[in-house]
Amino acid sequence: MDAAVSAAAGGATRTGLPSGNVAFLFTDIEGSTVRWDRDAPAMTQAVRRHDAIMRTAIAAHDGHVFKTIGDAFCAVFWTIADGVSAVLDAQRTLAQEDFGAVDGIRVRMALHVGTSDERDGDYFGPTLNRVARLLAIGHGQQVLLSTAAAELLALAMPDIALRDMGEHRLKDLTAAEHVFQLLADDLPTEFPKLKSLSVLNNNLPQQLTSLVGRDREITDIRALVDKHRLVTLSGSGGVGKTRCALQAGAEALDGFSDGVWFADLAPLTDASLIANVIAEAFELQEQPDQPMLAALVAHLKHKQTLLIIDNCEHLVHDASKTIDALLRGCPKVSVLATSREALAIHGETLYRMPSLATPGSSRGLTAERALSFGAVALFNGRAGSANPNYRLTDELVPVVCDICRRLDGIPLAIELAAARVKVLSVPSLAQRLDERFKILTGGSRTALPRQQTMRALIDWSYDLLTEREKELFRFISIFSGSFALDAATSVCADKDIDDIEMLDLLTSLVDKSLVQADDTGHDVRYRMLESTRQYAREKLVERGEADAIARRHAEAYVAISEELDRGWDTMPDRDWLARAEPEMENWRAAIAWALGSDGESTIGQRLAVGLCWLEFARVEGRRYVRTGLEKVTDQTPPHLVADLHIAASKLDSLLLSFKSSLSAAQRALDVLEASPDAGLLANAQLCAGRALVCLGRPSEGEPMLQSALTTFRAAGLEKAIANTLFSIGYACALKGDMPSAREVLREAAAIYDRTGAEERLPAVLTLLAEAEFRTGDTQTAVMLATRGLAASRTIKNPMNLMNLLPNLAAYLITLSKYDEARSHAREALVLARDEQAEMTVMFTLQHLAAIAALRDDESLEERSRAAQLIGFVNARLQALDAQREHTEQQEYEAVSAALGARLGAPRFEELVREGALWTPDRAIDEAQAIL
């Protein structure tokens, strides 16, 4: 066994304070603030007893308390065995103590093993940050262990039982930690879910490195976010605005019940898409004839959410308007923005991000003391990562401090410089840095402005690259957001760079901190920080390479979209989307160039066709397709014209514009009559047939669908077969041929299940359930709808949920299972209100009215309210020129008959007239009373 492992497990030689690979214990009292506010004198006595118990248990096992913060203890042990023994003693004694005067005391605890820096009896370093984060996800009386602690405990105390809690992302945003819970027969073992990033609502991206030197800033930002609804972090490029915003958001998660959500505006060039980018965080679907900003406001109107909106500066005017609309329309939403300038919105609180702290003088400064300055600590950490042999000594302190001062404490500049320690000694680094600044400033050695310093650092890093590296550095600035290795290789296709050399060059740029590499779990994606990308783009323009690279970038994304098109039928939906979604920003950039004044229309048209497969960008995709159609000329290939019309038809159908969808499909068929193509013809027939069925003309649509089905079966295109069967099944249902509908839809469901098309399966199950209900088999309808509901929850599709929940409620009402029906209706109402799905709101209100009308134990007041709700629904349906579908019509007739009988026809009609005058908000509020 390794000596360090042996020591931490239980075999340490003990002299002085614990050192080396040691075990750290952090504890605190859950809910102590509330108890202090409620009864401070009683809490004083309770905490005094708590402290005595903790100190006794820690001391009994050779531990050392090196810090207390309020009621929190920070202790260190020579071994994990000592730490666990102290924890068990403490928890058992605390459990036996009478803390009834303060409504009990529950202490959460966390153990982690690692090395740290000890200075004057205190301990510092990433190991302590990790155990603090581990503690934060636990609950009172729960004891959590990191993987390192659990592995050593298994060696030292194999009889101790642990529960594997799985991997959890902690609030430091770095790599996930595999967490374990300590078990003991005489202590509680069941707790709520851990409060980790993996459980709480958020989309905060994982960070490759820990945040260094920003404790005070994060505390300040957190305090501002708690007090103000709009906080803007301003400062120069590279000062760390984004990283601090993300960390502050992670720290604030517990205070926002509906989560913390991140949106990066950096890749955007089209200000009209700001709301779309923010909406992507919530997986919002675009709706016909509704601006995305309006949909976003509706979705967030009742949610307690923190939005982190990053890199607003290049679109500051439009970003300000969007954020202002969100804050005005969503009273529980707060925004933490980053921008190089203020947003200038009423109520904005501006926080200017300072540089990292640097020593004013390094005279007499030891390495230990120097590391208390954020700039030095960051340089030290990044240099150590670049060169494992690097170590900060007292002799190096003046040189490192000088480097940090000359870089104005700007984190990105420090990281760029520290990366050079891989090939340069620290004194050589300082000398070359000094020479570089002399050249840039004409010999002046005065401090440089931050922006000039950043440019100088990137200039210097750029000049140290090989010619091949410089070329790649310029070329990849064309990418928006992140990109994959194969896309970079395509952009550099005429430079004879194969995948192997490309990987070597990218790795070199990553090593020099000029490119970031992110492992997504599916592949490795690369990206540039915005400051670096802007610099590289300027170089690209200066060299006259921008137009040629923009063309190759667009051509590369045509190839990617066409590859995805070919793979759509054979790849599971989840895999296909995982491949497609990360490319969205680059598709936007490519199509903006191609359909712009300096681009090439044919490339843009091909991209627009490819984008129609991305159902999450329906309105945006339709706009691109329409622009592509406007640019059709006599020189445009006929098959591309047909493809554009098919794409327009598909997108119109997704947006429920079935008349437009039919017109577009017919135009495609007209083109294909003169230029036949079997595959395109089948797709055009599918679009036309589906539109006809949805327009209530199933007898006209079914022959087209059957023709398309024959072609798809011959080609073996399973998903296309299933999509066509779905529309045929709908046609059969509309014609009243339920046996045929059932047979066809079951075949479609089997194909979707087999091909991994999870997104489509709930829609089939919804239609199948409805078909079974119409034939009187309500039990089977409930089974199918329940299965569809489970699938919808798995794939987190709100549209499917809004279809299934009300239907399932209706089926359960028919079976007199009113409590279950009420639960589903309650969820449907909240979801439909948030998504502004008015028809779903109407039918859900009717279901709630049905529950009040039909069950025997409802009061006269609730039955009266049910009659008023029916009146409201009647009036709204009439105003919308809409009708009830089969299920809702059956229910309506039963409810009207029941209420007429129980209230008397005159009173029922009077209440219906009253409800017809209600507003939607009044109706929802009244329905809540039934809930």
Among 491-495, 578-582, 651-655, top mean pLDDT goes to 578-582
Contact 752, 787 (CB under 8 A): no
Q: What is the pLDDT of residues 181-196, one digit of tens each?
A: 999 988 999 998 888 8
pLDDT on residue 112: 96
Which amino acid makes up residue 722?
A
Q: What is the pLDDT of residues 815-828, one digit of tens each?
A: 999 999 999 998 98
Which amino acid makes up residue 677?
D
Nearest to 644 by CA among 616, 622, 619, 676: 622
Judged against a pLDDT cut of 70, whether residue 119 lies above it is answered with yes
Q: What is the pLDDT of residues 198-245, one digit of tens each?
A: 778 889 988 877 888 898 999 999 999 999 999 999 887 788 999 999
Judged against a pLDDT cut of 90, whether residue 267 lies above it is answered with no
The secondary element (H helix, E strand) that includes residue 181 is strand 177-183
Judged against a pLDDT cut of 60, whether residue 689 lies above it is answered with yes
Q: What is the pLDDT of residues 633-658, one digit of tens each?
A: 999 999 999 999 999 999 888 776 78
Q: What is the pLDDT of residues 389-427, one digit of tens each?
A: 999 999 999 999 999 988 878 888 888 888 888 888 999
How far is 663 from 296, CA to CA, in rounded Å? 30
Whole-prediction pTM = 0.65
Nearest to 801 by CA among 749, 752, 762: 762
Tokens 């006809």 found at: 692
- At 107, the pLDDT band (50, 70, 90 cuts) reads very high
The Cα-based distances of 138 to 47, 80, 106, 135, 145 in angstroms read: 20, 19, 11, 6, 10
CB hemisphere CA count around 715 (13 angstroms): 19
How far is 863 from 859, CA to CA, in rounded Å? 6
User: How large is the average pLDDT for residues 96-122?
Assistant: 88
pLDDT on residue 22: 93
pLDDT on residue 412: 85
The strands making up 230-234's β-sheet, listed across from edge to edge, are 260-264, 305-310, 333-339, 230-234, 348-352
User: What is the residue-averaged pLDDT of the chain?
Assistant: 87
Q: What is the pLDDT of residues 244-263, one digit of tens each?
A: 999 999 989 888 989 999 99
For CA atoms 908, 909, 910, 913, the dihedral sign is: positive
Judged against a pLDDT cut of 90, whether residue 795 lies above it is answered with no
User: How large is the average pLDDT for residues 708-720?
Assistant: 95
How far is 621 from 651, CA to CA, in rounded Å? 7
**Structure-block tokens of residue 521:** 């779990």
Which amino acid makes up residue 624?
Y
pLDDT on residue 760: 82
Judged against a pLDDT cut of 70, whether residue 782 lies above it is answered with yes
Tokens 């009373």 found at: 929
User: How large is the average pLDDT for residues 286-292?
Assistant: 77
Rounded (5°) CA angle 431-436-440 = 150
- At 436, the pLDDT band (50, 70, 90 cuts) reads low
* Pairing verdict, β 305-310 and 117-119: unpaired
The fold adopted by the segment(s) 823-930 is: 1.25.40
pLDDT on residue 173: 72
The Cα-based distances of 685 to 608, 665, 669, 695, 796 in angstroms read: 20, 7, 8, 15, 31
**Structure-block tokens of residue 45:** 């006595």
658/446: higher pLDDT: 658
Judged against a pLDDT cut of 90, whether residue 29 lies above it is answered with yes
Which spans in 543-657 are helix H?
Answer: 546-567, 573-580, 584-594, 601-611, 618-630, 638-654
How many Å separate Cα 488 from the centre of its chain?
A: 25
User: How large is the average pLDDT for residues 81-99?
Assistant: 95
- At 9, the pLDDT band (50, 70, 90 cuts) reads low
Contact 163, 180 (CB under 8 A): yes
How far is 350 from 343, CA to CA, in rounded Å? 9
Nearest to 333 by CA among 343, 325, 345: 325
> Which of 286-295, 556-565, 743-752, 782-791 shows the lowest per-residue confidence on average (mean pLDDT)?
286-295
- DSSP-based three-state secondary structure for 126: helix
How many Å separate Cα 298 from the centre of its chain?
A: 19
Cα dihedral 398/401/406/409 (nearest 10): 180
Contact 316, 325 (CB under 8 A): no
Q: What is the pLDDT of residues 735-781, one digit of tens each?
A: 888 889 989 998 998 998 888 887 788 888 888 888 888 778 999 99
Q: Where in the chain is the domain with CATH 3.30.70.1230?
A: 3-183
Q: Where in the chain is the domain with CATH 3.40.50.300?
A: 215-352
Contact 254, 195 (CB under 8 A): yes
User: 3-183 belongs to which homologous superfamily?
Assistant: Nucleotide cyclase, GGDEF domain (3.30.70.1230)
- DSSP-based three-state secondary structure for 861: helix
User: How large is the average pLDDT for residues 583-593?
Assistant: 92
How far is 422 from 512, CA to CA, in rounded Å? 9
pLDDT on residue 308: 97
Percent of the chain whose predicted confidence (pLDDT) is above 90: 50
- DSSP-based three-state secondary structure for 656: coil
Q: Where in the chain is the domain with CATH 1.25.40?
A: 823-930
Judged against a pLDDT cut of 50, whether residue 3 lies above it is answered with no
User: How large is the average pLDDT for residues 543-548?
Assistant: 93
Percent of the chain whose predicted confidence (pLDDT) is above 70: 95
- At 439, the pLDDT band (50, 70, 90 cuts) reads very low
The count of other CB atoms within 10 Å of the CB of residue 120 is: 6
> Which of 274-288, 369-383, 696-710, 794-808 shows the lowest per-residue confidence on average (mean pLDDT)?
794-808
The secondary element (H helix, E strand) that includes residue 889 is helix 886-903
Pick among 1.20.840.10, 1.10.150.80, 3.40.50.300, 3.40.309.10: CATH of 215-352: 3.40.50.300
Q: What is the pLDDT of residues 605-631, one digit of tens each?
A: 999 998 777 766 677 888 899 999 999
Nearest to 521 by CA among 192, 167, 840: 167
> Which of 138-152, 195-209, 362-376 shows the lowest per-residue confidence on average (mean pLDDT)?
195-209
Contact 267, 480 (CB under 8 A): yes
The Cα-based distances of 761 to 754, 784, 806 in angstroms read: 10, 11, 18
Judged against a pLDDT cut of 90, whether residue 325 lies above it is answered with yes
**Structure-block tokens of residue 898:** 């029941």
The count of other CB atoms within 10 Å of the CB of residue 929 is: 11
- At 451, the pLDDT band (50, 70, 90 cuts) reads very low
How far is 727 from 723, CA to CA, in rounded Å? 7
C-beta contacts of 488-492 below 8 A and 24+ residues apart: 488/526, 490/552, 490/555, 490/556, 490/559, 491/549, 491/552, 491/553, 491/556, 492/552
